[in-house]
Amino acid sequence: MLIAIAATITVVLVAGSLLAIHTQSTGYRSTTTAGYVALADRVGMASTATGAQLSTLIAGAPTLTNSAFPNTARGILQQGLDAAVEDTGVQARQALNLESPPPEGNLAPQFTRALELRASATQALRTTIDDLLGMAPLPVAGGPATATNATPATLISVPQAAQEMAAEGRTFEQSDAVFRSVRAAVIRLRTSAHLRRSVWVPAPADTAPLSGASLGATATALASSQPLDPFHHLVITAVGLDPAAVPSGGAGTVSTSCVAPVSTVPGATPAVVPPTSTLEALVSVTNCGNVPERGVTVSVTVAGADAPGTAPAPAGRRGGRVSAVVAIAPGASSAPDLGALPVASGHTYTLTVAVSLPPGQTDQRGTTQQFLVSITG
């Protein structure tokens, strides 16, 4: 009997203590939840803005136009996709960082899930469009250099892109549903803070640019848009000599641009370099097109060009050929290390720099550059 009475008293004391703790912690939990909702609302509004920007980009992408030079439509589309991927990734990380201390209910994990769904679907959408059109994310200014794969890209078909984009649109719709459930939970908790609506696929969903139905149809429009067609244009924009030419001879450098590029040919006056046993070309090749170029071969050939009747250069000092294979992103340049070729003092050589043309490039201006080089005896 005494044991039973003692146990009853113990239960009453423990229950009373728990009730007191719960009562005392109610204010803390309410404050924590309100603070979480206030911060989550900011992230949600940022996500809403990103969704609106991405919707506008996707809706207008098939009708983008090019400026006179260079072609800009693909760059605008790629830049917009890259920005959306970056922004949604930041927002998903912000949502995850807000989870501690945890608010009431299951708010934090569900809110984070909504933002992560948007981030993953946005990244997948960029990949699908890039694979459809043969594009690639732009280099990040100030970020680590990323090499462009030397293997030619394999494009996906329009039906495959349509299927993938429709699935990505359905994920956007799912993220909206998750966000609505979080907002409904916040309303039930009656916190002092409010979580505003965040919708990426507004009604009617069939006409919203980011819905599954609309994105699936957009694949065909993107593939048939002429301004988004790939444009291939490689140009040898600069060439110098090592050793450098002396002022008394012909020009020892070549410089041209993507606008009206020019290919040089040997002039009557050779570039004169000091006595040397090797000659190297310092070459810069620029991708003036709007697609990444992979497997680009840059070559330098040095061949004897002495006047008739001149004794030939010694064996092993008659030049030769060197080459390098590079990959160049749109708007970027590459300066491959081609190495030096053997020459002899007192002889004249023709130096030719050439770049291999990618399939689809018809404009050959600027794809070769030549010097007549005289080695001082």
Residue-wise pLDDT for 176-219, tens only, equals: 999 999 999 999 999 999 999 999 999 999 899 999 999 999 99
pLDDT of residue 102: 93
Cβ neighbors of 298 (< 8 A, separation 6 or more) are: 236, 283, 285, 323, 324, 325, 326, 334, 336, 338, 353, 354, 355, 356
Chain length of the chain: 377
User: Do the strands 253-255 and 234-242 form a parallel or antiparallel pair, or are they unpaired?
Assistant: antiparallel
Give the residue from 174, 196, 228 where a domain finishes.
Answer: 228
Classify 178 as helix, strand or coil. Answer: helix
**Of 188, 47, 66, whose CA–CA distance to 113 is shortest?**
47
HSE toward the beta carbon, residue 343, CA cutoff 13 A = 31
Is the residue at 19 inside a domain? no
Domain shared by 130 and 173, yes or no: yes
Residues 103 and 109: their CA atoms lie apart, in Å, by: 10
Domain shared by 198 and 53, yes or no: yes
Which element (helix H / strand E) includes 299? strand 293-304
Output the CA torsion 82→63→45→211 (10° steps).
-100
Cβ neighbors of 95 (< 8 A, separation 6 or more) are: 40, 43, 111, 112, 114, 115, 116
Residue 33: how many CB atoms within 10 A of its CB?
22
Domain shared by 72 and 213, yes or no: yes
Tens digits of per-residue pLDDT, 238-295? 999 999 999 888 888 999 999 899 999 998 899 999 999 999 999 999 999 888 898 9
Where helices occur in 61-157 by DSSP H, the ranges are: 73-97, 107-133
- Check residue 231 and report its DSSP letter: -
Tens digits of per-residue pLDDT, 79-134? 999 999 999 999 999 999 999 999 998 899 999 999 999 999 999 999 999 999 98
pTM recorded for the entire structure = 0.72
Which residues span the domain enclosing 290? 234-375
Domain shared by 293 and 187, yes or no: no
Give the residue from 202, 228, 254 where a domain finishes.
Answer: 228
- Check residue 169 and report its DSSP letter: H
Give the residue from 195, 228, 261 where a domain finishes.
Answer: 228
Is the residue at 3 inside a domain? no
Is the residue at 12 inside a domain? no
Q: What is the number of domains present in the chain?
A: 2
Domain shared by 197 and 280, yes or no: no
**Higher-scoring residue by pLDDT: 205, 50:** 50
Domain shared by 101 and 200, yes or no: yes
Residues 25 and 139: their CA atoms lie apart, in Å, by: 50
Domain shared by 171 and 197, yes or no: yes
User: Do the strands 333-334 and 278-287 form a parallel or antiparallel pair, or are they unpaired?
Assistant: antiparallel
